[in-house]
Structures are given as C-alpha cells and as structure tokens.
Structure 1
Amino acid sequence: MPLILAVAPPPNVHVRYHALIPSAGTGTRAGTAGPKQYEKLAGRLLVQHTLEAFTRLGRIASVLVVVAPGDERMPTGPGWRVSACGGATRAASVANGLAELKAQGAGDDDWVLVHDAARCLVTPGQIDRLIDACGADAVGGLLAQPLADTLKQEEGGRVAQTLPRERKWLAQTPQMFRLALLQRALAQAGDAVTDEASAIEAIGLKPLLVAGSAQNFKVTWPEDFALAEAVIRSRTR
C-alpha cells in the first residue's frame, strides 16, 4: 500500500472549514421505533441540537447532513444542507459526503469536520478548540477523552484479562482532516473503518488528540436519552 504524505498548503492559500454530519444510520441499539436522530430531546429533534452547535460558529463555511436515500425526515434550515447520498456504512456515507462537498465547491485543502449526528451535546467551544489545535497541523486530529475506567477484555461473557488504560483515549467527534487527504485515506481503507482517524492511521499518519469532554458522548443506548436531556436542560437554566 503506497504511503500518503500529509503536506500543509502554503500559508497564502485560503482554506475553509466544512462540517459533515453523517446521519444515515438506523440506531438499532437505541431501542427507538425509528432512527435515533429523529427522537425528541428537550422539545427538539436530537439532530437539531447537533446542528445548532455548528451553525452558531461563523468560521464554519458550510454544514452538510448526509441522510439515507429516501429519508425525508431531516429538517431543513438556513444553516445547513441535506444530501440523500448516505451509504451502507459510515465510511461510505462520509466518502459520499466528501464527494458532495467537492461538487459544491469545497477545495482539496479545505478542512472537513466529520461529526456523529448522535453526539448532540457537542458545544461550539469544543469545536473551536479542535479547529484552533489542528488548523496549522499537517495531518489533522480529533476530539478524544483519556480513558478513566478499568478496561476489561471479554471472552465467552467473562473477563479474559484486564488491559492497561495508560495512554488510551476514547475517540469522539468532530474528527478534522483535509478533504482530499481524507478522500484518499477512505478509498484505501475501505468500509471496515469505524471512524475517520482510523482511515488516516491506516495510511501511516498520526492524528492529533485534542481533549474533548465527557459530555460529548454518543447517544447509543436507551438510557442515554434521559442523560442527554438532563445535560441539555442544565445548560438552559
């Protein structure tokens, strides 16, 4: 597999920041009747909380939401566009979204911040922190949290061994990489990767880890909805 080098553009090249929100999944683990991004949280759709964090940032040039073909439930708004180009996997949805961004005028050197639709508690401040940390980096990076819990490896429903937690981080989103670099990395890595950083790592590059927040969790399980709603309501008091 040929090595892809990450090279920052010359300082006089103007680059923009685009948000890409893959939202084509069904969220089967959440126990909801339909896709979890359309569940109500504090009176609004879960995905609307996600989108608000990005549309409040003036430095984000565009926000693209990728939904499954035929999905007409995604709300429209003045700050984002919706494209029904979702694929069978997250990697396919992101790859299709990158192609759509490029077709709409995004440049190869522009930054793309890929963010899980179900991470509805991300804040503009956290997004700003990622941009500030990675904007001058040749590779890019991601929000993440150092692992705080003891980590167990399972075998047959029982603990097989305890793994050291030192230098281990929980990957979050956004994950921020240049458009053309991420396109090439995903094309080489294929659909098996579960996040963009994994594709970048697979071509020999090392994404930057930027401290995120424990509140930036992905709504995955049924009990996560009540926790997310409590956090949202605590922010509006």
Structure 2
Amino acid sequence: MTAMPPSSPDEPLQPQRFFAVVPAAGVGKRMGADRPKQYLVLRGRTLIEHTLERLCGFTPIERVIVALAAEDPYREGIAILNSSRVLCCEGGAERCHTVHSALNSLAGIAADSDWVLVHDVARPCVRVEDLQRLLDRLQGHPVGGLLGVPVWDTMKRTASDDQVIGTVDRQHLWRAYTPQMFRYGVLRDALSAVLARGELVTDEAAAIEAAGLKPLLVEGAQDNIKVTRPEDLALAEFYMAQQEAGQS
C-alpha cells in the first residue's frame, strides 16, 4: 500500500472533507457496570452524548458514523443518535471490526482522499482545540496521524508473573489517544488487509503501521482521558468542570 501524495503546486486543490467514526459496540467489562460504559451517566448525560456533542459541535466534521452493538437496548432515548449529522451502523466483535464496519458505511459518501477521525466513545473530554490542532498539523499529510501525550513516568517491563525484568527507555514513548485521523482510502485498505490476515489491532494507527506507513503523532491535552474504570468517571467530571471554568 502506498500513501496518497499531497497535491503538487500545479494541481487544483481539492476541498478537504472530514468525517468522524465512533466505535461504540463494546461492553466495557472493566467498568463492572450493569450496562456498557458509553451509557453511564456523567454530569446528567451519558458518555456517548457528551462525546457525540463535542464531535458534532466541531464544524469541519460533516457527519459522524456511530457503530453500535446489534440490538443495542440502551440506544433508545439518546436523541443525538437521531441527528441528521449522525449515521448509525452495526459494529463487530472487536474494535477493529467495528471501525471497519463504520468505514464501509461511508462507501459512496467519502472519497478516498477525505479524512476520517476515529474517536473513542469513552473520551468525552476531547477539546475542540485539539481537534483543530490535529487538522492543522495533518493538512497536506499523505497518511495522517493521531493525538497523543509523551510518557513522563518511568516505564517497567515485567514477566508473566509481574516480576520486573527491565526498565524501558521512555524517550520517544507516547500514550496513544484519539482521534486518530487518516485518509479514508488508506485506513479502509489498511484495516481490510489486517483483518484478511486474521490479525487484530487495538487502534487504527497499528493498522497503518502494519501497511508500512508512518503516522504523525500530534501532542494533545492530557485531560483527554479514556473512561475505563469506575474511578475515571469522577476524573472526567473534574476535567469537564475545569474546562468549563477555563482553568486548564
């Protein structure tokens, strides 16, 4: 697979179009809740509502594709899922299957050179400034990239029994966040190739890397956390309050 080269100065500039994909078919086992974590309530609304409102409120994004579990009983009453800017589709067994399904839903809508921003449904604190920074940094990039944060903690590697077997050099190590933004055709083909080999990837950048391409890491805000465990809900609420108060 080859990346799409940027337009040359002599070629007419094609208008850039942006779409978002939100995989929301997971069950969130680590939360230990009675429902998938995207339907847990945070500040009076569900996580999925907070996340979709931030994406839908970002003007450059034309449409948001939300991939839900088949026969999802919790989607009823989530008004934003019925928005004209939101298109729902059925997800799959793993995240990569779910994202692939959402990309297939964009067939005939998105051109290969358009951009797709894949964002975790459980990252409700993503900042508009970070979305704009991602678009600005990747403008003209042939492949795409992702938000991330450099690792500052000391990193340890362990054996299967949790005994430390070494300290990992943290220089050039990053925490991978979302959105992860790639050309539609490049990401679709990369994920298709991975799944055809029977492999699984935990994020879109890994599929891009497997295709021999190099995503660009764009530093974002550390409060763009992923709600994974029960204590993360309180932390997300704290960060949202700080954002509203303009304190961070």
Q: State the TM-score, normalized to the length of structure 1.
A: 0.93
CA distance in 1, matches of 2:142, 2:120: 23
Q: State the TM-score, normalized to the length of structure 2.
A: 0.89
Candidates 212, 221, 229, aligned match of 1:221: 229
For 1:179-190, list aligned pairs within 5 A. Answer: 179-190=184-195
Aligned match of 2:89: 84
- Paired AA for residue 95 in structure 1: H
Alignment CA distance shift 1:233-1:150 (3 Å): same
CA distance in 1, matches of 2:12, 2:98: 31
Is contact 2:180-2:205 (8 Å) kept? yes
Aligned match of 1:201: 209
Deviation string 1:158-178 (CA, Å, 9 cap, x unpaired) is 211111100010100000001
CA distance in 2, matches of 1:171, 1:8: 25
Matched length: 234
Is contact 1:42-1:233 (8 Å) kept? no
Alignment CA distance shift 1:177-1:46 (3 Å): same
Deviation string 1:43-86 (CA, Å, 9 cap, x unpaired) is 11011111121111111111111101111423232364242310
CA RMSD, Structure 1 to Structure 2 (Å):
1.5
Aligned match of 1:123: 127
CA distance in 2, matches of 1:86, 1:11: 37
Alignment CA distance shift 1:11-1:21 (3 Å): farther
CA distance in 2, matches of 1:226, 1:46: 12
Aligned match of 1:230: 238
For 1:110-189, list aligned pairs within 5 A. Answer: 110-155=114-159, 156-189=161-194
Is contact 2:89-2:102 (8 Å) kept? no
- 1:232 deviation in Å? 1.5
Matched residue SS, 1:32: coil
Identity of aligned residues (%): 42
- Paired AA for residue 45 in structure 2: R
CA distance in 2, matches of 1:79, 1:47: 16
Alignment CA distance shift 1:14-1:152 (3 Å): same
Is contact 2:89-2:105 (8 Å) kept? no
CA distance in 2, matches of 1:62, 1:116: 16
Is contact 1:65-1:80 (8 Å) kept? no
Matched residue SS, 1:194: coil
CA distance in 2, matches of 1:11, 1:117: 36
Alignment CA distance shift 1:132-1:11 (3 Å): farther
Deviation string 1:169-212 (CA, Å, 9 cap, x unpaired) is 01000000011110110011225111011111111111011001
Mind listing any 5+ residue stretches in structure 1 that lack a counterpart? none
Mind listing any 5+ residue stretches in structure 2 that lack a counterpart? none
Is contact 2:146-2:215 (8 Å) kept? yes
Matched residue SS, 1:224: helix
Alignment CA distance shift 1:153-1:209 (3 Å): same
